[in-house]
Structure 1
Amino acid sequence: MTDDDSGAMRHRAWTIAAAFHEPADYDVPSAPQFEGAVGDGGELRLLDDDGRLVLTAGVPVRARR
């Protein structure tokens, strides 16, 4: 697995482990959690624990799950 593939592999592992309700029991790392903030222009900004910008959504829309 290369660094580029790690996100895809974690996504697959989280999905499988979530079906069994205890990902930690399968040595699956917990999914990252980010703080959300709305910028002055209305964009959604996701920040890591250190306050560094991870993702910006310029035109966020609500999605029904």
Structure 2
Amino acid sequence: MIKKDIWTKTLVCFLILAFMFVSMPVPFAAKAWAAAPVLSTITPDNGQYGTYVILQGTG
């Protein structure tokens, strides 16, 4: 069960990376919007600052 859980997390991470690479023509703001939930789990401030920086970086 533990191995299956690790495999599931690895698969999800792989799918996220694949989406990022495959969707290069897509505007970066769309990818930032899709990555916002991931940022919220990484940054201590619920991802608000990280999302702000990414959105500002799009121009």
Sort the TM-score into its range (normalised by shorter chain): 0.3 to 0.5
Q: Please, what TM-score do these two structures have when normalized by structure 2?
A: 0.35
Structure with the bigger percentage of helix: 2
